Structure 1
């Protein structure tokens, strides 16, 4: 079902366009006051730097020939003061732009995280999680240099260019025209290199994404890796993905590196032309020596911002490869969301009805086919059937983790598509088969189901699901730190904590997906007593492969190939001797050495 694996390159849904830069600007815009102040400081810094050659020209042409020592000292002091002003302005720029860059990155990463939490399960079903993580972390971080240095440098360098050209024109127009002859050539080179650079940086982003996806997958499956002695094979795969990342990076950097020597060569040739023309004109007394020396200083300063703008151009090309992926994620449509006319679901009694529900994970491949049933408030419904028959799909649809293709799902007569997600899910307690334990204390993990719950409420929930005793045996009881995914806990312990978390939220509709699958027989008998008390007054849906655990359900629905084939109590279905009877008997014989049930 996945759109791609770790070794399959992602394809862009939309190509980069200028709108991406405009969208990046929306994150920068809140700091335009600070940006404008920094720009003014950099303009002041550049003015201070550019004042130097003009002071030198004045000293050579006027002060030194006149032997005016006092004026020379004053000009020298003014020159030193200009350098000091430039240093102060640069210090301010570094501090302020670092703050702006980090704030923009913070906001961009926050928006990505918020958006990811709103995306449906389909999004996560269709792509490796490592390829999602790299967008939030690495790709956003890659924008730091562009934000911290590139943007403000680009604006100040453009201003410097205009200012320098103004100074050059004021000294000698003909020399200025000679000095500008290399600019059209450089623009043509940039245009030629653009496509190659962009394609190579796109490849870098794809290979980095692949490597991160494989690393994430390998870490999650480390126990399986070591159990099957797969270390050497995994090392080869990682080396291959890492080498692809390295070679693509080198290729992209080489493309970027082409710009610097080309710019340098054009600048050297242009400056050489300027010197040749200058020497000829000095010999013909068409230009003063002081003017030529000042102009020579300005021509050096002229190519410095052009080189910087070339570097900024490289940064933009590199950043676009990451911006494409970032905004592609932000543009991912939120499929499961509140309708425009949605309303809060009022406190419910727990009546549930499926009306001709059709659902597909993949287009035109239905998993549920016209499923209809009604559950009265307080009823306990067991869903049974072979793996892949659609049991878990039914409870996922009830919580609206996915949207149905046709039909209706009603709770107390309210179509769940027309009520707000928050009001729906807050009244439906879910314990999925794949239990998840967060890093933190046991207390925090149980309280996750009700953040404002007191310690006493947490402890009571744990007692009701028979988790209290093993928790108290841990070194710090409820305040024992557990690792990510609960690796310190047994599978059964993780399920009990997850069960307590669900019960603490006190839902009117309770969903248990294989809630007792990893609990030993002794604990299971004890928990059945607790379940009878807990299920009282609640509508409950139970999925269990061990059919002995759902014999006391008010109704059992047998699901096969996306349809309800049988419905009734355990006794009624056993008398039918249909699909449920066959399933129960095969399981009974397996557990009791082939003996028939009586």
Structure 2
């Protein structure tokens, strides 16, 4: 892993960036060739103009003047063509490499454990995947290759000037040390400003993503004005960072112009003295050539500072992007076991689990403590307990969203670490209380774009769940776009779609995380039969707050503060007169329902 330093020439970081250029070697090679050609061509036009002035214009050679004019016109066309190809190829190179890098980043993000997303704002990841990657693209189109071209052009022009007139060249280059000092000061100042800009962009994206996603909460609690004022502060910091960077530019560019004018003044002063001393040796073409060379010399030097900062911005973006890629929060010890059929028996043996995996010092930091139970294939187990008892954590570690610290979890007698991860998760279908739907069609939300699931299978599953009729009534039926997070559907309709999704994947293990709590009584009755069908022949884990929904479970586990307090059937637990009995009495007495 590269050290995160922010240096524009962090060799290790540049090497990693250029790894993504390898598939586009030919484009890169042609970009370099064109860069060399443009640098070589740069001083030819001033030389031809100076030569034409001395050899043809002053001597009245009209025929030679026409020939040189045609030659310079052809050279200009050639230079324009080279510049067009160079700009096009460097942009293609940058965007192609970034396309591959962005795919790699997205693929890596989708494989990160949930712990990473618990600690990282989504807006920050969006910034890394979009705007930070665009700054890396600039490394190719406006950064490193362009810098190499400018440096070569400066070297070629200075070499050409020395060839024409050494003394005149030395006079013209006298202000250059001042330019180098000014450029260095500017580069340091603008680096800090650019880093502030990237930080504030990330903050702005994070704030917008969170508050637009949570707009209903803001409006429910009439927090619009307060959040508006917070946004003004964040936006102002972003504005101030941009103004600071522009302020540095507003100082640097006039300084460069002053130094360039000083160089031009020295040239005129020296040339005037030469004319006064030796009028017969005056060469107007040489003076004209040097005047043009001064402009061509200072322009790339001035742009070098700007392109250096573009490169630096790209490297800052690369640091952040590769920091995401270097994140080790991925599921490790992934096995290869993938049998033809998973039966679905589950075994927890002395399992201990904490979300703070790196800071476990006391027993209290564990959210699950010494959990042991067994469920045979096809049985139903229910997890009950107060909020924070560890019910959802049990499901998370079964799916390997988080890793346990002690004990073993087995499915069909095989440690879950031995299973191929995608195989394990595809055989565990989870229906959550909070249903997430993508901005896509109902069909794609059900299949999750799995080409193996046919339209007929989706319709059949919808009929079993009892959702086919309401889907058919929607505009476009199964091709109706539900919009972001299923905003155009009711909570009950969204829940029904999640049941269809679970059914079409034909899982061996079914997890219902209070799956009927978000639906009305009529919809609950509609899907209860479907739930029973869905659970038939499958191992089912039901997380329940309403005890009326789990009385038929083969095993009920009562959790409290991460520990199993009781386990057994409904009737057996009532006879114990313990935790479950208290929960049962409290729940049913509060709603005035007679106990069975």
Please report the TM-score for the alignment, with normalisation by the length of structure 2. 0.92
Structure 1 residue 544: Cα displacement? 1.4
Match status 1:158 vs 2:151: yes
- Give the corresponding residue for 2:95: 102
3-state SS of 2:516 partner: coil
Contact 2:191 2:309 in 1 (8 A): no
User: Which of 24, 28, 31 does residue 31 from structure 1 map onto?
Assistant: 24
Report if the CA contact (8 A) 2:147-2:308 is conserved.
no
Q: Residues 163 and 287 of structure 1: is their aligned pair in 2 closer, same or farther, counting only changes over 3 Å?
A: farther
Partner of 2:315: 320
Per-residue CA distance 1:251-296 (angstroms, 9 max, x = gap)? 1232344432232222222332333233333433387443233223
Cross-structure match for 1:496: 496
Matches within 5 A, 1:237-386: 237-285=230-278, 288-339=283-334, 342-344=336-338, 347-362=341-356, 363-364=359-360, 365-386=365-386
* Worse-matched range after superposition: 164-173 or 459-468: 459-468
Residues 352 and 369 of structure 2 are in contact (CA less than 8 Å); yes or no, is this contact kept in structure 1? Answer: yes
Structure 2 Cα separation of the partners of residues 79 and 135 of structure 1: 47
Structure 2 residue 390 is the aligned partner of structure 1 residue 390: yes
For residues 505-544 of structure 1, what are the structure 2 equivalents within 5 Å? 505-544=505-544
Q: What is the Cα deviation at residue 418 of structure 1?
A: 2.5
Residue matched to 1:477 = 477
Aligned to 2:179: 186
Mapped to 2, the partners of 1:555 and 1:65 lie a distance apart of 107
Distance in 2 between residues matched to 1:98 and 1:13, nearest whole Å: 28
**Contact 2:41 2:79 (8 Å CA) reproduced:** yes
Q: Is the 8 A contact 2:389 2:562 kept in 1?
A: yes
1:225 aligned to 213, 218, 229, which one? 218
State how far apart, in whole Å, the 1-side matches of 2:133 and 2:577 are. Answer: 60
The match for 1:198 is: 191
Q: Give the C-alpha shift of residue 335 in structure 1.
A: 2.7
Are the counterparts in 2 of residues 345 and 424 from structure 1 also a CA contact under 8 Å? no
User: Deviation digits for residues 220-247 of structure 1, max 9, x if unmatched?
Assistant: 1122222222222221111111111111
Q: Aligned partners of 1:266, 1:366: CA distance in 2, in Å?
A: 67
SS of the residue aligned with 1:481?
coil
How far apart in 1 are the matches of 2:182 and 2:70? 43
Match of residue 68 from structure 1: 61
| Aligned partner of residue 254 in structure 2, secondary structure | helix
Who is 1:556 aligned against?
A: 556
CA contact (8 A) 2:106 2:129 kept: yes
CA shift digits 1:367-399 (9 cap, x unpaired): 111111111111100000001110000011111
Contiguous gaps of at least 5 residues in structure 2:
none
299 and 525 in structure 1: CA distance in 2 versus 1, 3 angstrom threshold: closer
Per the alignment, do residues 110 and 424 of structure 1 end up closer, same or farther by CA in structure 2, a change over 3 Å counting? same
Residue 52 of structure 2: aligned partner: 59
71, 74, 86: which is aligned to 1:81? 74
Q: Which residue of 1 aligns with 2:427?
A: 427
Give the conservation status (yes or no) of the 8 Å contact 1:383–1:556.
yes
Query: SS at the partner of 2:351?
Result: strand
Match of 2:132 in 1: 139
User: Structure 2 CA distance, aligned partners of 1:14 and 1:93?
Assistant: 31
Post-superposition offset of 1:45 = 4.2
Question: What per-residue deviation string (whole Å, max 9, x for no partner) do you get for residues 337-379 of structure 1?
Answer: 454x644355321111111111111232211111111111111
Q: 462-471 or 155-164: which moved more? A: 462-471
| 1:405–1:319 CA distance, 2 compared to 1 (3 A) | same
CA distance in 2: counterparts of 1:137 and 1:64, whole angstroms: 56
For the 8 Å contact 1:466–1:523, the answer to whether it is kept is no
Once the 2 structures are TM-superposed, how far is the Cα of residue 449 of structure 1 from its aligned partner? 7.9
1:478–1:73: structure 2 CA closer, same or farther, 3 Å change rule?
closer
Cα gap change, 1:163/1:130 in structure 2, threshold over 3 Å: closer, same or farther?
same
Taking a change above 3 Å as real, the CA distance of residues 287 and 310 of structure 1, as seen in their structure-2 partners, is farther
Instruction: Decide whether the 8 Å contact of 2:113 with 2:401 is kept in 1.
Output: yes
**Native 8 Å contact 2:547 2:584 kept in 1:** yes
Q: Residues 391 and 543 of structure 1 are in contact (CA less than 8 Å); yes or no, is this contact kept in structure 2?
A: yes
- The 5 A counterparts of 1:435-454 are 435-448=435-448, 450-454=450-454
Conserved 8 A contact 1:354-1:410? yes
Farther off after superposition, 157-166 or 289-298: 289-298
Q: Cα distance 1:338–1:57, how it changes in 2: closer, same or farther (>3 A)? A: same
Q: Secondary structure at the match of 2:590?
A: helix
SS at match of 1:56: helix
Aligned length: 584
Distance 1:37 1:475, change over 3 A: closer
Partners of 2:144 and 2:311 within 8 A in 1: no
Distance in 2 between residues matched to 1:71 and 1:449, nearest whole Å = 71
2:412 aligned partner: 412
SS in structure 1 at match of 2:519: coil
Q: Partner residue of 1:5?
A: none
1:436 counterpart SS class: coil
In structure 2, distance between residues paired with 1:273 and 1:442: 75
Question: What residue number does 1:3 align with?
Answer: none
**What whole-Å deviation, never above 9, does each CA across 1:15-44 have from its counterpart, x for those lacking one?**
334032332222234333223323433444
Work out whether residues 431 and 499 of structure 2, in 8 Å CA contact, stay in contact via their aligned partners in 1.
yes
CA distance, structure 2, for counterparts of residue 279 and residue 333 of structure 1: 69
Aligned counterparts of 1:57 and 1:35: Cα–Cα separation in 2: 35
| Stretches of structure 1 lacking an aligned partner (at least 5 in a row) | 1-11
State how far apart, in whole Å, the 2-side matches of 1:245 and 1:60 are: 53
Corresponding residue SS for 1:408? strand
- Deviations along 1:448-477, whole A, 9 cap, x unmatched? 285422222111211222222322332333
TM-score (norm: length of structure 1): 0.92
Q: Any idea what the Cα deviations from partners look like across 1:518-539, whole Å, max 9, x if unmatched?
A: 2233433443333333222211
**What do residues 131-164 of structure 1 show as CA deviations (whole Å, max 9, x unaligned)?**
2112212222344444323333222212211211
